[in-house]
Amino acid sequence: MKFLPRFRFLPVTIFFAALLLTVRAGDVWRDIVDILEGVSVADATAQQQAPPSPPPAGATLVVPPVADAEAEGPAEGEAAARPRDATRGRPMRKLGDDPALLTQAEMDLLQQLAERRDRVEKREQEIEVRGAILKAAETRIDKKVEEMKNLQATIERLLAAYDDQQEKKVASLVKIYESMKPKEAAKIFEELEMDVLLMVVERINSRRLAPILASMNPQKAREVTVELSRLRQLPEGGLGAGG
């Protein structure tokens, strides 16, 4: 009877291993969903907050003269050297000219461009951080997937070991019961649980099984016969003939 406790230990181990595999699979799926949702929200926010592209470097700004004196002040050589507005014939200045000569509108525009550049740089930093987070999440998912594969391999090994152990133990029990006297074997059969008893009875030679069933309690023998017939999927007519 010491066989029974060990008989059920491996199935419990396999059950908890399979349960752990299910939990790991759920964790991986939640990580994937979180990553996809985070990237979608970030892209939508970026599209709403993205500043307009700044003008290319070296852009020129056409500005009217501040006063008549300013228009007449430069020498003719300097005026000839400056590019002129094609429509008004006025000299154009680059935004990189002396800040002291910039108008308030030009200074405001430079300030806006600087702010936009800061926002773009900040956005680039956020994208880099998000990329690092995404890469870390992918690494974590890959690690969990690898753990799941290892766990699956462990479960398969446990199942194979369980089947092998079960077959060896049942074969050993069959030999023991076949070598016993029918009355002694019948007493033990009456105390065994039905699932264990069926595994043994199914493998015993029918000629040796018949006297054992005949020596058992009639009610127990009837239950064994019914369960064994279901296991073998015998027709109902065969039960009466075999009883």
Over residues 15-64, the pLDDT tens digits come to 767 777 776 777 767 777 666 666 565 555 555 555 555 554 444 444 44
Which residue has better confidence, 43 or 112? 112
Q: Are residues 141 and 192 in the same domain?
A: no
State the Cα–Cα distance between residues 194 and 40, nearest whole angstrom: 57
* pLDDT at residue 223, rounded to an integer: 92
Instruction: Please say if the pLDDT value at position 179 is more than 70.
Output: yes
Decide if 31 is inside a domain: yes
Which residue has better confidence, 65 or 191? 191
Task: Specify the pairing of strand 93-94 against strand 60-61.
Answer: antiparallel
Q: Are residues 135 and 217 in the same domain?
A: no
Decide if 148 is inside a domain: yes
Q: Are residues 99 and 160 in the same domain?
A: yes
Number of independent structural domains in the chain: 2
State the Cα–Cα distance between residues 110 and 63, nearest whole angstrom: 14
Q: Are residues 156 and 191 in the same domain?
A: no
Q: Are residues 224 and 124 in the same domain?
A: no
Decide if 132 is inside a domain: yes
Q: Are residues 216 and 184 in the same domain?
A: yes
Domain end call among 111, 140, 166? 166
* pLDDT at residue 74, rounded to an integer: 47
* pLDDT at residue 153, rounded to an integer: 92
Q: Which of 18, 39, 36, 7 is nearest to 195 (CA)?
A: 7
Decide if 146 is inside a domain: yes
Residue-wise pLDDT tens digits, 192-225: 999 889 989 989 988 999 999 999 999 999 999 9
* pLDDT at residue 147, rounded to an integer: 92
Decide if 175 is inside a domain: no
Decide if 214 is inside a domain: yes
Decide if 99 is inside a domain: yes
Model confidence at 234, pLDDT cuts 50, 70, 90, reads: low
Mean residue pLDDT of the chain comes to: 74
Angle separating helix axes 182-191 and 104-179, nearest 10 degrees: 150
Q: Are residues 187 and 242 in the same domain?
A: yes
Q: Are residues 156 and 214 in the same domain?
A: no
State the Cα–Cα distance between residues 228 and 243, nearest whole angstrom: 12
Q: Tell me the mean pLDDT in the region 4-23.
A: 62
Q: Are residues 39 and 114 in the same domain?
A: yes
Residue 47 belongs to what domain range?
1-52+95-166
Q: Are residues 234 and 127 in the same domain?
A: no
Decide if 76 is inside a domain: no
Domain end call among 108, 135, 166? 166
Instruction: Please say if the pLDDT value at position 119 is more than 90.
Output: yes
